[in-house]
Amino acid sequence: MDTLVKMFLEVFAWLAQRPTLRIRIQKDDPYAEVGSLVFEAENVRDKTTSLGTTVIASFLSVKGRRLSIVFDVREADRSLPPFTAKNFSASARQRQPDRFHGWFRIYKFVPTRGRTCRVRIKNAALEPMSTWRFWLEKLILRTTGHIFGKTGGTIDEYRARQRAKGPH
């Protein structure tokens, strides 16, 4: 029994020490040829890791179809030291103007070591959502056909929210 508890604690410690990414998407421009996705990545654990070469985004189109797109990270130095944020840009492999109007986007960032980071975003305002709220609102959209909560606003409100995010 004592070895079972010891083994459980070792597995828990190993999982807790794995590198974990924190991602903040700053721009997603479907019309840009180069660097259409700009994001900030931070490793929030003590172990060093690096970002993978691709980012995969999936979303719902206006017609309700599930689409995905692959981005290639442009920087050669993708290393992520502990607790240091770095800016990256990525270019889409193909043009996809439907992405601008895409709803319920999931961006998947894969590090070389550690957990895969998924950033869930409701619409083009690029505001991240929690996992539970994302799936709940997506379920409401699929069952009722209506968007839950405040979805828009004026351009001045959008710009004020962007300014409030700050430079970090």
pLDDT (tens digit per residue) in 1-44? 678 888 877 776 666 667 889 999 988 887 777 778 999 999 98
Cα–Cα distances (Å) from 84 to 31, 102, 155, in that order, read 30, 31, 33
CATH number of the 2-130 domain? 2.60.40.10
Q: Are residues 107 and 23 in contact, defined by beta-carbon separation less than 8 angstroms?
A: yes
Which residue ranges make up each domain of the chain?
2-130
What residues of the chain score a pLDDT lower than 50? none
pLDDT of residue 108: 96
pTM value > 0.85 = no
Contact partners, residue 33, CB within 8 Å, separation at least 6 = 91
Three-state secondary-structure class, residue 56: strand
